[in-house]
Chain A
């Protein structure tokens, strides 16, 4: 094959698609690089953290068909562990703190995963919700989380002991790097043979079993990756905002990440990013408006509308339109 220079039309098309995708990634990265000069960096960092969180969640729902209603537990675990480590050991650099928080989320994800994958569908959602609620109570009572007040004054510190993250611009580029790494990992997972098997499990689990795949092992690994990345998002968020609180552990947070993913487009790579951007902007805008008290009602209404008539989400709808008009 290596000596053949003529490409079949199918290969040509595939190659074009890959080129187009690379161009899109580069363009988006360029936008992200100049964004902090246009918009408020702290807001952008918040969007990026939640975008990573939603992408991690989407890896499970969109590509393995598992609806987890407990992802807040991983976000909070990452956040709390990073916060505790950074606050108690002043010499610790932020990237190590984030690594510890992420590892904690991976461990928790393994434990939850082993229990939760024993049930499917709706039961899976209920089990993850219950497990996350258990963690919520744990965080309320544990002596090191600051209870209702949460952890405050977590130092941002200096990246690798060199670059001060107290500067918002430095912090922004660090968060962007974290996001890009997380996103790349998800992109690679989805497009790998492993990701193909996940999709097969999503589409028809009994068939995947009969083809000889160890379905439980695949689900567990997907669950752990997802939990770890959610923890990474939580850890990074703690460094950015210098606090870890119970809000992150509450089941409303698990619901919010579902909404972000659903609104942006379940099973699309960029959907969760768009959804996270929209939901975070909406919350920020509403908080300053007279409608501030109605946030949860409005989010609920968006939920209902999405489920009733907008199930592909924004990115999903765009993809459908592109497919219809340009092929």
Chain B
């Protein structure tokens, strides 16, 4: 059997694959955070809760309304995104003129509300969401066994990330978004409806989180607290990558997932903390983050 530094190849690749899957979620979530931050200048602390709402919406939709996985993948981001639009219109807009730390605190409060309410109804233990039939089973790649669903998650996450990149960097709407990030007042003077743009941006960021939630539902136990611990790691990822570039966020997310996977192989005790340690090192060497512009 082939060994890599004393670890069987299959185990090594398996952990690397798990790391890459985690990394795909880091990428999706940090992408949403970065998009929201770009225009609203706030950190959306409710991002983890919205990811969790996505997973729950998929689960409840399946149980009570018979909405299958594929439909959920389409509908849930729309529904949760609409909730985001409502949050932006009714709450975030009122504090947009204040110090942006208030946005963090407000969304933190929202996260507590969502999480607390769902814990009351469903408890903290997770439920499982069945893997859709078309994606059951796996592929034998020769050197490792790849469950089809994991492969699908990786592909879907990458496609969505690249699609977002394309939309922001290559379309007219994206040009508005980037211009709004630079100078919203001037944009408004040119006749662009900036408040609408802000609302849609927040809604889109939230929809991305919900999409990640639906993707995650068949992989991880669906529980009310699934988002919050993930979000803190994503914060560290965002600090490491900096929120300046979309591709930077995606690359950092995947990279950190891989590093986490590798740590799990060679020094499992540190698997939970390695990303935070990387963050410390990056802050000491390159405070603006790997892809960040000096603020």
Contact = CB atoms under 8 A, between A and B. Distances in A.
| A and B bind | yes
Given A137-B273, A262-B105, A307-B102, A130 B279 contact: yes
Contacts of B283: 115-116, 118-119, 127
A131 B280 contact: yes
A125 B239 contact: no
A149 B287 CA distance: 37
Contacts of B117: 297
B43 A118 contact: no
Interface string A113-127: 001101111110111
B279 A300 contact: no
Contacts, number: 115
A301 interface: yes
B109 interface: yes
A296 B115 contact: yes
A302 B113 CA distance: 10
Contact of A294 (B94, B95, B116, B239): B116
A301 B91 CA distance: 12
B133 interface: no
A306 B106 CA distance: 9
Contact of A126 (B43, B115, B273, B284): B43
Nearest to B243: A123
B153 interface: no
A316 to B, nearest CB: 14
B135 interface: no
B91 A130 contact: no
Nearest to B105: A307
- Interface range on chain B (Cβ under 8 Å from partner): 35 or more
B106 A303 contact: yes
Interface in A94-136: 115-116, 118-123, 125-127, 129-131, 133-134
B116 A67 contact: no
A299 interface: yes
Nearest to B284: A115
- The DSSP consensus for interface residues of chain B is helix
Contacts of A84: none
A294 B114 CA distance: 11
Given A123-B239, A297-B112, A308-B94, A138 B273 contact: yes
Contact of A131 (B105, B116, B276): B276
Contacts of A180: none
Nearest to A120: B295
Nearest to B269: A141
Nearest to A132: B232
Given A126-B235, A129-B235, A130-B235, A308 B91 contact: yes
Interface in B169-209: none
B139 interface: no
Contacts of A137: 272-273
A127 B116 contact: no
B232 A133 contact: yes
A126 B37 CA distance: 13
B162 interface: no
Contacts of B280: 115, 131
Given A131-B276, A303-B106, A297 B284 contact: no
A116 B283 CA distance: 8
Nearest to A255: B108
Contact of A130 (B95, B269, B276, B284): B276
Closest 10 CB pairs of A and B: A303-B109, A300-B112, A296-B116, A300-B113, A297-B116, A134-B276, A130-B236, A304-B109, A118-B287, A126-B235
Interface of B: 37, 41-43, 91, 94-95, 98, 100-102, 104-106, 108-113, 115-117, 119-120, 228-229, 232-233, 235-236, 238-239, 269, 272-273, 276-277, 279-280, 283-284, 287, 295
